[in-house]
Amino acid sequence: MPQKDLYPDIAPFRTGELPLDDVHTMYFEESGNPDGAPVVFLHGGPGAGANASHRRFFDPKHYRIVIFDQRGSGRSTPLGEIKDNTTPLLIDDMERLRRHLSIETWFVFGGSWGSTLALAYAEFHPDRVRGLGLRGIFLARKSEIDWFLSGLKELAPEAWRAFSGYIPENERHDLLGAYHKRLMHSDPKVHLPAARAWSLYEGSCSTLLPSPETIQAFSGDNLALGLARMEAHYFANSIFLPENFLIENIGRIRKIPAFIVQGRYDLVCPIRSADDLSRLWPEARYQIIPDAGHSAMEPGTRAALVQGMERFKELG
């Protein structure tokens, strides 16, 4: 199969807002073929939100592309709201959206935190998933959260010094607690600078080679606030799932067609997690990209993701 890159930019044929409860309203959109095979894109973070480039992983002539912003993220409202914001509720939101769009089954595609949510959703609702496309695996284990908060200093010491250095020295023994306190503060003069420091840390570690475009995107107020506040909230609560839940329940989804794409030099979600997942799930197609980090937009990674969705065309 010849290598393909991202599809051209397209506009949605439908956008909408779906009330979820008394607090949250979900932004969603559909693009591509209204009668095509449904695929839902799950953005990272939690809290990063989706954008127009995420439509481009899918052939718009074949797929009915569903994109939404998770609670507290992107164009969903209220931005950065942690009340009633948990992994089980995000799974329920996906089911609400699927029913709202009269979709029986769909392909589920997600990277980083999106891979976490995709796996969790599939383990709760395996009969609703036609196939799973996963990238930059995050299994929500304590070791992975600890790596992000402190282990990264081994490979990205400059970025980690800036991240930890934002916090006063007498609070650096608990970076998550110190950031959480500031990110949840009601005053934008307190929470926005902390959000930028957190978001820039992640953005600067997300690509194999320096990427000014990535840094610029991660420095925007909306993305930074949603990303940093949601990540701190979810990390402080162990992702609202029992430790090792995703690994221990992999048997529920091993019959679902799946592919896993992992950058060899992913600093944010190191390759060990993808390796652990692939060994427990030998049926899934596993591809290591030898010259990539964490970002879905690095050339080898995005080509492999598009290629994976091309193969899924055989399933409907």
- The model's pLDDT over 265-314, given as tens digits with 9 standing for 90+, comes to 999 999 999 999 999 999 999 999 999 999 999 999 999 999 999 999 99
pLDDT at 251 over 60: yes
Q: What is the mean pLDDT of the chain?
A: 96
**Number of helices and strands in the chain (H, E):** 11, 8
Which of 266, 273, 278, 295 does the annotation list as catalytic? 266
- 266 in active site: yes
- 150 in active site: no
Q: Does 215 map to a domain?
A: yes
Which whole number is the average pLDDT over 61-65?
98
Element (DSSP H or E) covering residue 248: helix 245-248
Which whole number is the average pLDDT over 117-128?
98
Instruction: Quote the Cα angle for 104-108-113, to 5°.
Output: 140
Which whole number is the average pLDDT over 77-105?
98
Q: Residue 21: helix, strand or coil by DSSP?
A: coil
CATH number, domain of 122, equals 3.40.50.1820
How many percent of the chain have pLDDT more than 70?
A: 99
93, 151: one domain: no
CA 130 vs CA 37, 82, 95, 106, 275: distances in Å: 10, 31, 14, 5, 23
Phi-psi sector, 172: left (phi>0), alpha (psi -120 to 50), beta: alpha
251, 132: one domain: yes
Which whole number is the average pLDDT over 143-151?
98
Which of 73, 112, 199, 273 does the annotation list as catalytic? 112
What's residue 132's pLDDT?
A: 98
265, 227: one domain: no
pLDDT at 147 over 90: yes
Phi, psi (degrees; rounded to nearest 5) at 254: -65, -20
Instruction: Quote the Cα angle for 157-152-280, to 5°.
Output: 155
Q: Which of 239, 255, 289 is the last residue of a domain?
A: 239
Domain carrying residue 44? 14-141+240-315
135, 282: one domain: yes
- Print burial letters for 169-203: b (CB count within 10 Å at least 16), e (below 16): eeeeeebbebbbbbbbeeeeeebbebbbbbbbbbb
pLDDT at 316 over 80: no
Q: Which of 239, 259, 288 is the last residue of a domain?
A: 239
pLDDT at 1 over 90: no
22, 55: one domain: yes
What's residue 3's pLDDT?
A: 56
Phi-psi sector, 6: left (phi>0), alpha (psi -120 to 50), beta: beta
Q: Residue 30: helix, strand or coil by DSSP?
A: strand
Rounded Cα–Cα distance for residues 141 and 213 (Å)? 30
| Model confidence pTM above 0.95 | yes
Q: Does 1 map to a domain?
A: no
Rounded Cα–Cα distance for residues 117 and 43 (Å)? 9
Q: Which of 224, 239, 254 is the last residue of a domain?
A: 239
Q: List % helix, strand, coil for the chain (3-state, nearest 5).
A: 45, 15, 35
Task: Kindly state the tokens that stand for 314.
Answer: 């055989």
Verify cis geometry, omega within 30 degrees of 0, for the bond prior to 270.
no
Q: Does 5 map to a domain?
A: no
Element (DSSP H or E) covering residue 42: strand 37-42
Do strands 37-42 and 106-111 pair parallel, antiparallel, or not at all (unpaired)? parallel
pLDDT at 2 over 60: no
